[in-house]
Chain A
Amino acid sequence: MAGRRVAIVGAGMTKFVRRALETGQELAWEAASKALESCEMTLDQIDAVVLGSAPDAFDGVHMKVEYLSPGAGAWGKPTIRGYVGGGTGVFAAIQGWYHIASGMFDTVLVVCEEKMSSCHPHPQAAFNYIFDHTLERPLGPNLLWIFALEMNAYMTKYGLTKRDIAMVAVKNKRNAADHPAAQLGDPHITVEDVLNSEVLAWPVQRLDVSPTSDGAVAIVMAAEHIARRVTNKPVWVEGVGWSLDTQYWTNRDLSYPTYVEEAARKAYAMAGIKEPRKEIHIVEPYDPFDYKELHHLEGLLLADRGKAAELIALGIANRDGDMPVTPSGGLLGVGNPIAAAGLMKVAEIFWQLRGEAGKRQVPGQPRRGLAQAWGDLMQVGTVIILGI
């Protein structure tokens, strides 16, 4: 383990909603102040701030992290923006970790926010501008059809059916029904509902994909000597890893997320994990699309290639299964305010390991969990492993 030991000692979040009256600043403030309250700390006890948010275009404010900073407690403090697109939420926690592990700071407030409802008529329009301006943009690409191609490649390579994949959406939206902050929890949803939902870009249908959302999440991180004073239940950062694949998405193996495997191997090595399938008790893989949860479980080496769907079908991934996957409800169920959604996964592992997840609590006193996110131009994997 590199550097000093670092723990998460507090967490807070707003509700995830389709359109918040609150400004981005107000959302960031709600999450930040709840996180501080959760561990009975005050802003003057925070040394530095890490602020994560995805493209400026969503909130419609250039340099939006500077705009958000008052709500995140950044006034008069060393502050850094974490930004690797959709991978930001987990990456911001990793930045919080190395701020402290390095010895530079003892306490860090990590805040992630997204207000996607500002982007009109739909945030997908903003994604047109992440592609090559001359060779791709004239074709009008957006993420839905890129991922439809990827989902089809994955299904074809391993002979998976739409039904195999739809079970992920069902599991996560049902899990989210127990999350008080969830946007799309549904305890009664069925595979038929997913298969009968509106086709967006075949094979992606409406219920295969996460919604656009407004929301914010914050965590408080502390060096060991502070963490032990703040709480008797510190949740330690045991491993972190991140890795970037090529920007040319057409040059990637679309049926396997190599960037996730590279990030996971770094995190496992740091945590001293030799057999991840036995040593990781809960997983929060990034699930903006149902097939991506399967994709990422394979990249995390928690399932054989093409076999992750079996974990869902056999109930192993259920909350009461042998390896609960996305007990929070994930992006598909809780919602997807991009950077905040990734940090929500980190917060979920924190609450689960402390036994504070309420109706979502995984049985059996889990001792180690993993959260993962994915982003940039669909090329970055970010992984954090937490334990008690």
Chain B
Amino acid sequence: MPLIERIQHLDEVRTWRGTIQLEGVYTAGVAGERWLRGLQEGKIYGTRCPRCQYTYVPARRFCERCLGPLGEDTWIEVGPQGTLVAWTRLHVAPDGTRLVPPRTLGLIRLDGADAVLVHELIDGREWTSGMRVEAVFRPPAERSGSIRDLLGFRPL
């Protein structure tokens, strides 16, 4: 079809519909599995590289800055309180529909951590960068070892 003819609708040319169907079965990894078990117990862990003086959250098995191992002795508990670094309010879903009510997401630097964690901001109306927040966990019986065992962060 010449480029000068404007196609108004996809079905004006003969088309085939196809989907790419793939399913993933993922492992959390050596560090990830332990980190999620921690969340299940209501604890947030980081690993601190003694060489680079940097604390990763979620905890990692290695330091990306020096590739050194982050072994048993580098696991430390961080939070559950922290500082809101930045936030956004989501009004439109990826499919174009309006989100009512909107969702609020934040970047939280937990006390004792260098890396920031992204998660939901809940139970608050006004958010400002720099404000103090704390983690809210699901009740123990509802936890499954998932990032969603954390409901989110609320103002302190």
Contacts and interface: CB of A to CB of B under 8 A. Distances in A.
Interface in B70-94: none
A70 B64 contact: yes
Contacts of A219: none
A133 B22 contact: no
B31 interface: yes
B29 A22 contact: yes
B30 interface: yes
Contacts of A21: 27, 29-30, 33
Contact of B18 (A22, A121, A126, A133): A133
Interface string B16-53: 10101111111111111100000000000000000000
Nearest to B25: A120
Contact of A60 (B22, B33, B64): B22
Q: Tell me the interface secondary structure of chain A in the complex.
A: helix
A26 B64 contact: no
A77 B58 CA distance: 23
Contact of A44 (B23, B33, B66, B69): B66
- In the complex, which range does the number of interface residues on chain B fall in? 20 to 34
A119 B67 CA distance: 27
Contacts of A137: 18
A29 B20 CA distance: 30
B110 to A, nearest CB: 20
B65 interface: yes
A333 interface: no
B22 A119 contact: yes
Interface string A26-52: 100100110010000011100000000
B61 interface: yes
Nearest to B65: A75
B20 A120 contact: no
A251 B51 CA distance: 56
B16 A26 contact: no
Contact of A32 (B26, B31, B65, B67): B67
Contact of B30 (A26, A33, A117, A126): A26
B62 interface: yes
Contacts of A19: 27
A118 interface: yes
Contacts of B33: 21
B62 A20 contact: no
A175 interface: no
Contacts of B60: 70
Interface in A108-153: 117-121, 125-126, 129, 133-134, 137-138
Given A118-B25, A134-B16, A26 B31 contact: yes
B32 A118 contact: no
Interface string A1-32: 00000000000000000011111011001001
A60 B62 contact: no
B22 A20 contact: no
Contact of B26 (A33, A60, A73, A133): A60
Contact of B66 (A23, A42, A120): A42
A70 B49 CA distance: 14
Contacts of A129: 20
Contacts of B28: 23
Contacts of A73: 64, 67
B84 to A, nearest CB: 25
Contact of B67 (A43, A117, A121): A43
A97 to B, nearest CB: 22
A356 to B, nearest CB: 22
A26 B61 contact: yes
Nearest to B20: A129
Nearest to A123: B22
A13 to B, nearest CB: 15
B27 A22 contact: yes
18 contacts: A20-B27, A21-B29, A22-B30, A23-B27, A23-B28, A23-B32, A25-B29, A29-B62, A33-B62, A33-B68, A43-B65, A71-B62, A75-B64, A75-B65, A117-B25, A117-B27, A119-B23, A133-B18
Given A33-B62, A118-B26, 11 more contacts: A20-B27, A26-B30, A26-B31, A33-B69, A36-B67, A43-B66, A70-B60, A70-B62, A71-B62, A119-B24, A121-B23
